[in-house]
């Protein structure tokens, strides 16, 4: 079946540090891959996505590249800010309108 594994948190970084959150997946077929972000007390917001191998999704300084050979979609940001403190979820979705499958989430805390 389909599954997503992401690094466990919490991750604590100082402002302007480099961020990597690892995500690997298992899927049948060729899924689309997503990163969602959840700020405290809120719902999930799409951060970025990639729909095919070698695609790079990017938004708000975050990037992730769809690596089919390593079945990975690691999230990176060159310089984090306090406002990036949130829980980040990696997810995949196969074709059609099948449900999103989420990883367990990684809590990021950025301190000034």
From the CB of 9, what's the least distance to other proteins, in Å?
Answer: 10
Contact call for residue 29 and other proteins (CB under 8 A)? no
From the list 21, 23, 25, 49, which residue makes contact with other proteins (rule: CB under 8 A)? 49
Binding span for other proteins by CB under 8 A among 14-22, 46-54, 58-66, 67-75 = 46-54
- Going from the C-alpha of 73 to that of each of 63, 83, 101, 108, the distances in angstroms are 9, 23, 14, 17
What lies within 8 Å, CB to CB, of 84 at 6+ separation is: 19, 77, 108, 110
From the list 62, 86, 103, 108, which residue makes contact with other proteins (rule: CB under 8 A)? 103
Helix (H, G, I), strand (E, B) or coil at 82: helix
């Amino acid at each position: 079946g389909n599954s997503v594994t992401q690094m466990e948190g919490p991750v604590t970084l100082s402002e302007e540090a480099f961020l990597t959150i690892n995500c690997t997946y298992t899927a049948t077929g060729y899924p689309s891959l997503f990163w969602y972000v959840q700020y405290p007390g809120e719902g999930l917001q799409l951060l970025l996505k990639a729909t095919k191998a070698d695609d790079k999704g990017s938004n708000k300084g975050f990037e992730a590249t769809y690596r089919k050979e390593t079945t990975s979609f690691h999230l990176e940001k060159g310089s984090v800010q306090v406002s990036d403190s949130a829980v980040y979820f990696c997810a995949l979705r196969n074709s059609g309108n099948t449900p999103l499958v989420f990883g367990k989430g990684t809590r990021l805390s950025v301190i000034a």
